[in-house]
Amino acid sequence: MIAVVKATVEDIPTIREMAHLTWPPTFRDILSQEQIEYMLEMMYSEKALKEQIEVKKHQFFLAKESEKALGYLSVEVDYNQKPTIKIHKIYILPDLQGKGIGKLLMQKAEQVALENKNTILSLNVNRFNQALKFYESLGFSITKTEDINIGNGYLMEDFVMEKNL
């Protein structure tokens, strides 16, 4: 049985490990190895994750079976002071994708949204990421494109996708 549980700063090593297992296969055909390494350090260093949890108030959740973490999700309630849940991160270990774990995590995002009277789910996805099909299958649609300068000469070339609840 897979459970979705709230993560704390004590789970940072687990989140970091999963990020380092999921990012290279997810982005190797889209981004350079150098950009993947840069972004992992920028978004998943211990310091960055601690700030996301403690300062930015991002809520992290782990999908777990027994004690094994299978994937993770992070969301921000009332994003930009609007009734919107921003899904910052959702990743499933590569060998477990396609088994419904992502749907479970998305259901958790919807539950958190509704508990906080947020009516829109929003996320950014790389324009060439295979996950686009997954998000569309869950009712998300592209609302705009966005190029985000993340430093070191790198851009995140994303679609913004939203789903009304």
Residue ranges making up the domain that contains 89: 2-124
Asked if 123 and 135 count as a contact pair (C-beta separation under 8 A), the reply is yes
**The predicted structure's pLDDT at residue 146:** 97
Residue 27 included in any domain: yes
Tens-level pLDDT at each residue, the chain (165 residues) = 999 999 999 999 999 999 999 999 999 999 999 999 999 999 999 999 999 999 999 999 999 999 999 999 999 999 999 999 999 999 999 999 999 999 999 999 999 999 999 999 999 999 999 999 999 999 999 999 999 999 999 999 999 999 999
Residue 145 included in any domain: no
Structure-token pair, residue 73: 């999700």
Residue 149 included in any domain: no
Residue 146 included in any domain: no
Q: How far is CA 64 from the centre of its chain?
A: 16
Q: What's the rounded Cα separation, in Å, for the pair 41 and 29?
A: 19
Residue 139 included in any domain: no
Residue 155 included in any domain: no
Residue 157 included in any domain: no
Looking at the structure of the chain, the number of domains it has is 1
Q: How many helices and strands (H and E) does the chain possess?
A: 5, 7
